[in-house]
Structure 1
Amino acid sequence: MYRVRKEVDLPFEKLSNFRDIGGLKTEDGRNMKTGMLYRSDDISRITEHDLERLIEYKIKVICDLRTPNEHQSKHSHILSHGQFRVFNIPLHLQETGASKRQWFNFFFGKSGDEHFKKFSRAYYHHMAVESTFQIKEIITLVSREENLPALIHCTAGKDRTGYISAVIQLLAGVPYESVVQDYLLTNEYYKSRLESVIKMMRWMTLFQVTPERMKLILMANREYLDEVYRGLMETYGSIELYLNKACGIELCTLRKCKELLLE
């Protein structure tokens, strides 16, 4: 049964989407360990208070999925003190993201919602099919006991982090529907912040953008994960074979990763 986690044990001042990806039951009745892998939104703005909280989680490695430009422009000075080893493994290069003109169209265009859905489907497809070398790097990184506990993050902790977290949970044997519910918890974590952002943006855009359009763009949507998952299952039959055949990860590494994450 899926266990909902809506509260963070140690609250943060600048992180809204931090959580443990463990604590879920697998199809064979085992449990994903807690305290091994965490996911988060952008940590570049963390305070000294937040840093103390991260240290309490005993995190050793931080895996940053943002583009090189994002990594350089929003770099945390606090993290420069050497408490953690930081690896920048971008799932997308700058050109695969949306341009300012595209974002304007997503929000204000007559068919902006459909354009955003099309962009998002391509965005997820690129992660799954074109970023296989990066996925290999990430899985190899977290399959080493000396690197755990580890934190995986991007900007919002929604899409890039959501996809990688889902792949890892599926590798551990968590049923897909439980993985989806965990993926959608981003919307619970961002709920109060999202309401504030929507209210502010409604005023800033002179009420030209509907709340529904904003939610479509800002919230996690299972449609994109579902589509990618179906494609991978049709092609490979299992996440393990996808990681082995498409991403080039040795089966012994996958087994090691899985055993490290299960109790």
Structure 2
Amino acid sequence: MQRAVGEMNLSFDKLVNFRDMGGLKTEDGRSLKTGVLYRSDDLSRMTENDLKKLDECRIKVICDLRSPKEHKSKQSRLLPHGRFKVMNMPLHLEGTQASKRQIIDFFFGRAGAENFKKFSRAYYHYMAVESTLQIKKIIDLLAQEQNLPALIHCTAGKDRTGFISALIQLIAGVPYPIVVQEYLVTNDLYKSRLEKLSKAMSWLTLFQVKPARIKLILMANKECLDEVFSDIIQKYGSIDMYLIRACGIEQGTLRKLKELILD
């Protein structure tokens, strides 16, 4: 039976968006294994209790999708040296991140909402088109049994992690509508934090920034995911052909990954 979206969430002190990617049914009736692939937000805020829970997952490899600058500046002091193999595989360069001026415009500018939507679409396009070498490295890494269980994370566990997680679920054969529901679980997990932040920012900006604008900027956006995968399918015909032709991944590697992550 198809599990409820978000059912495999694990409770941490500081990790808001940590969850098991398994339990989903594929189009051919198989299931994504639980306890094999996890996704999360930034690990640098972990508590000792969080580390114990992470240990319980028996994770061997941590795949950090943040930029090298983020990776170096926000490292968890609790991650024991050698216990996890930490791989920094950035899905973008520092130059593709929003500048401080852009962020101010997104929040306060009259056209800020539209500008943010354009930026987000370009960001997802960059991940799919310009980060193909990194995508190959990630898939090659996960297709090796000795690297599993593995954890994939970025800063919020929203866009970069959301894109890669969706890609893996589609490789496995999970129907796209279910992939989208899983992608949007992020918004459910961040709901209480977003509401508090929205109220605080409204007061701090003397109500110049509306809650709707704040949520637009901080929440996972279905439109971005729809657009990038629509473009991929239109150009390559299938996710597998995109990974083979655009990312240079061997067909045998995709078969191996499917074998490892599917029951």
TM-score calculated relative to the size of structure 1: 0.98
Partner of 1:59: 59
- When the two structures are aligned, how many residues end up with a matched partner? 263
Residue 223 (structure 1) shift: 0.1
> In 2, distance between residues paired with 1:208 and 1:239?
43
State the partner residue of 1:81: 81
Q: CA RMSD in A?
A: 1.1
Amino acid in the other structure paired with 1:198: S
In the other structure, the counterpart of 1:261 is: 261
Percent identity between matched residues is 67
Over residues 60-112 of structure 1, what are the superposed CA-to-partner deviations in whole Å (9 max), with x where a residue is unaligned? 11000000000011011111432211000000110001000000000000000
- Taking the aligned partners of 2:129 and 2:19, their CA distance within structure 1 comes to 26
Q: Is the Cα contact below 8 Å between 2:143 and 2:254 reproduced in 1?
A: yes
Q: CA 1:256–1:131 in 2, change beyond 3 Å: closer, same or farther?
A: same
Structure 1: which 5+ runs fail to align? none
Cα deviations by residue, 1:152-186 (Å, 9 ceiling, x for unpaired): 00000000000000000000000101100000000
Distance of 2:175 and 2:5 partners within structure 1: 17
Q: Secondary structure of the equivalent of 1:192?
A: helix
Q: Distance in 2 between matches of 1:111 and 1:215?
A: 16
Structure 1 partner of 2:11 = 11
Whether the 8 Å contact between 2:30 and 2:262 is mirrored in structure 1 is: yes
Residue in 2 aligned with 1:38?
38
Q: In the aligned structure 2, how far is the partner of 1:49 from the partner of 1:83?
A: 16
Match of 2:109 in 1: 109
1:10 and 1:123 map into 2 onto residues whose CA distance is: 29
* Counterparts of 1:253 and 1:245, CA distance in 2: 13
Match of 1:236 in 2: 236
Shift of 1:6: 3.5
Give the Å deviation of 1:33.
0.6
Shift of 1:3: 2.7
**Letter of the 2:255 counterpart:** R
Q: 1:180 to 1:9 in 2, by over 3 A?
A: closer
In 2: Cα distance, 1:71 partner to 1:91 partner? 12
Distance 2:65 2:71 in 1: 9
Kindly report which structure 2 residues correspond to 1:103-252, keeping only aligned pairs within 5 A, or say none. 103-252=103-252
Q: State the secondary structure of the residue aligned to 1:122.
A: helix
Runs (4+) of structure 1 exceeding 2 A deviation are 1-10
Matches of 1:9 and 1:69, distance apart in 2 = 29
